[in-house]
Amino acid sequence: MTERPTTTTNAGIAAPSDEFSQSVGPDGPLLLQDHYLIQKMAHFNRERVPERVVHAKGGGAYGHLQITEDVSQFTKAKLFQKGARTDMLLRFSTVAGELGSADTARDPRGFAMKFYTEEGNYDLVGNNTPVFFVRDPQKFSDFIHSQKRRSDTHLRDNNMQWDFWTGSPESAHQVTFLMSDRGTPSTWRNVNGYGSHTFLWYNAGGEKFWVKYHFKTDQGIKNLTAAEADALASSDPDHHIRDLSSAIAAGDHPSWTVQIQIMQFEDAADYRFNPFDLTKVWPHGDYPPINIGKFTLNRNPENYFAEIEQSAFEPANFVPGIGSSPDKMLQGRLFSYPDTHRYRIGPNYLQLPVNRPKVPVHTYNKDGAMTYVNSTDPVYAPNTVGGPVADPSLWGGEVYGVAGEIVRSAYTLHSEDDDYGQPRALWEKVLSDTDKEHLVSNIVGHASNPAVTAEMKLRVVEYWRNVAKDLGDRVASGLGINGS
């Protein structure tokens, strides 16, 4: 290989790591002083005008969340109290394709929810898979680049995708989901959603818990084979948008059962998997999912641009009773999502009807491009002339200690952490024989693309042998590679 230049910041300063953000200890939160990380994320968010860089192609609908069980022992958030009914918007999307790309492409599906609560907007920006390809936001823009287009030919490139995945073994769990038939869902009505990240919940007494969200489709999971997905990509590239809007227009309203997994706050430190690692699930046997309610989608948007293209979801929108966690990907997204909206839509994106909270806004933020709600005096705090005042009693549950030296480091490993164990469990314990057959043929089909080099095919086989020997052997055989 030719000698490779050192990565630099845009100012030409040599970068100390392509992989790790500065964090307070291996498991602690990330630091604003990490200029290289901030620059990577901010620059990435400004790469396209005006479509979203990721999740560009999508569709969505309005509905409501209805809570049926009492979880007040875990959170004081009003939208999750028994009997609460909250209006919401859900946007589905693919990840890598552009605005006009085919809905049935092999990809994870975005599952972004905005709840218009009486305490302000709560946004939960999930996927149809419970895990993700990387666990540190330092690698996020690199990952997305590898899935999109080359600089020279403007072509997507399967070799580039496998190069990133095989060089990033933490991707194996999500790539197993992606290459299974769940990578090509029949419709958006037939996918589960997952909050994916671990979040903090705290109750009225200030007791803290870690939580994961699962949204189980009441329509049942249904997937397409690779051949069916390919056929629809040419015959009806907008198949998923069409399916959702026609079902709702016909009065066939899809619904999802809302489940949570709850972990005692103190259990995180010694749990067998790092519970903040976005490439891992919490096995159901350890933390059984608990049903808490349901949401239903029952109203189509009237204007796609105004209500879907300009919809802006931000994982940083927490209401009292809910907070963030030391999940490093979540920490990166807390910055990255609102930053992309400021860039795409402008600093006043929260004034647009689809994004506007259903409660009054009293803020000292003012003016800016395209402001529609003009500021009133006083324009500063503190003041003695009757402006709004903050309520310190609202700060409470999100209080916990962190300590450590500033490092660029992988997470501390918990006793059973490795990159292959959970995808191996998926292969060995969960997938049916037919699922396995389709997984192998989907991998082989993808890695047989003419762009994939002979050397890369060997890396692909090794990657899958690390997940499970028999899976790797079957991929090798499909790719015409003999021997072990």
HSE-up (13 A, CA, CB side) for residue 242: 10
Is the Cβ of residue 214 or residue 333 nearer to ligand NDP in the bound state?
A: 214
Give the residue, chosen from 214, 240, 333, 446, that forms a contact with ligand NDP under the rule CB under 6 A.
Answer: 214
Task: Decide if residue 117 touches ligand NDP (CB under 6 A).
Answer: no
Task: Decide if residue 279 touches ligand NDP (CB under 6 A).
Answer: no
Q: Which candidate in 45, 121, 127, 300 is catalytic?
A: 127
Q: Rounded to whole angstroms, how far apart are CA atoms 113 and 134?
A: 22
Q: Give the shortest CB-80-to-ligand NDP separation in angstroms.
A: 19
Stretch that binds ligand NDP, among 48-56, 76-84, 243-251, 429-437 (CB under 6 A): 429-437
Going by C-alpha positions, the residue among 246, 230, 263, 339 that lies closest to residue 300 is 246
Q: Rounded to whole angstroms, how far apart are CA atoms 167 and 352?
A: 42
What letter represents residue 273's amino acid?
F
CA distances (Å), origin 58, targets 35, 243, 311, 332: 32, 12, 11, 23
Going by C-alpha positions, the residue among 179, 189, 186, 177 that lies closest to residue 223 is 186
Q: Give the shortest CB-364-to-ligand NDP separation in angstroms.
A: 42
Q: Give the shortest CB-383-to-ligand NDP separation in angstroms.
A: 49
As to burial, measured by CB atoms within 10 angstroms (0-12 exposed, 13-18 middle, 19+ buried), residue 288 is exposed
Task: Decide if residue 224 touches ligand NDP (CB under 6 A).
Answer: no
Strand 110-117 and strand 120-127: the pairing is antiparallel
Give the residue, chosen from 5, 285, 401, 483, that forms a contact with ligand NDP under the rule CB under 6 A.
Answer: 285
Site for ligand NDP in 28-67 (CB under 6 A): none
Task: Decide if residue 106 touches ligand NDP (CB under 6 A).
Answer: no
Strand 58-67 and strand 290-299: the pairing is antiparallel
Give the residue, chosen from 56, 281, 352, 447, that forms a contact with ligand NDP under the rule CB under 6 A.
Answer: 281
Q: Give the shortest CB-470-to-ligand NDP separation in angstroms.
A: 17
Task: Decide if residue 239 touches ligand NDP (CB under 6 A).
Answer: no
127 is catalytic: yes
Give the residue, chosen from 331, 422, 442, 466, that forms a contact with ligand NDP under the rule CB under 6 A.
Answer: 422
Please tell me the count of residues contacting ligand NDP according to CB under 6 A. Answer: 19
Q: Rounded to whole angstroms, how far apart are CA atoms 49 and 158?
A: 25
Q: Give the shortest CB-221-to-ligand NDP separation in angstroms.
A: 7
Q: Give the shortest CB-92-to-ligand NDP separation in angstroms.
A: 17
Cβ neighbors of 395 (< 8 A, separation 6 or more) are: none
Q: Give the shortest CB-26-to-ligand NDP separation in angstroms.
A: 23
Task: Decide if residue 130 touches ligand NDP (CB under 6 A).
Answer: yes
Q: State phi, psi for 162 to the nearest 5 degrees.
A: -70, -30
Alpha-carbon dihedral 277, 169, 163, 43, rounded to 10 degrees:
20
Stretch that binds ligand NDP, among 50-58, 281-289, 399-407, 461-469 (CB under 6 A): 281-289
Binding-residue pattern over the window 379 to 418 for ligand NDP, x denoting contact by CB under 6 A: ----------------------------------------
Going by C-alpha positions, the residue among 104, 414, 355 that lies closest to residue 235 is 104
Q: Give the shortest CB-177-to-ligand NDP separation in angstroms.
A: 6
Q: Rounded to whole angstroms, how far apart are CA atoms 360 and 136?
A: 36
Stretch that binds ligand NDP, among 147-155, 163-171, 361-369, 430-438 (CB under 6 A): 430-438
Task: Decide if residue 290 touches ligand NDP (CB under 6 A).
Answer: no
Q: Which candidate in 10, 35, 45, 55 is catalytic?
A: 55
Return the structure tokens found at 23.
């964090």
Q: Are 192 and 214 in contact (CB under 8 A)?
A: yes
Going by C-alpha positions, the residue among 357, 341, 351 that lies closest to residue 373 is 351
Task: Decide if residue 425 touches ligand NDP (CB under 6 A).
Answer: yes
Q: Rounded to whole angstroms, how far apart are CA atoms 134 and 171?
A: 6
Strand partners, 208: 202
SS (H, E, C) 50-64: CCCCCCCCEEEEEEE
Give the residue, chosen from 13, 227, 413, 430, that forms a contact with ligand NDP under the rule CB under 6 A.
Answer: 430
Return the structure tokens found at 77.
């958030």
Site for ligand NDP in 144-203 (CB under 6 A): 177, 180, 182, 192
Is the Cβ of residue 290 or residue 451 nearer to ligand NDP in the bound state?
A: 290
First to last CA, the chain: 25
Stretch that binds ligand NDP, among 326-334, 397-405, 424-432, 443-451 (CB under 6 A): 424-432
Stretch that binds ligand NDP, among 32-40, 228-236, 267-275, 427-435 (CB under 6 A): 427-435
Cα angle 152-155-160, degrees, rounded to a multiple of 5: 85
If phi > 0 it is left, if psi is from -120 to 50 it is alpha, else beta; for residue 196 that is left
203 is catalytic: no
CA 363 to chain centre: 29
Q: Rounded to whole angstroms, how far apart are CA atoms 301 and 436?
A: 39
Give the residue, chosen from 238, 435, 470, 473, that forms a contact with ligand NDP under the rule CB under 6 A.
Answer: 435
Stretch that binds ligand NDP, among 36-44, 87-95, 425-433, 475-483 (CB under 6 A): 425-433
Interacting residues toward ligand NDP by CB under 6 A: 130, 177, 180, 182, 192, 214, 216, 281-285, 422, 425-426, 429-431, 435
- Active-site annotation, residues: 55, 127
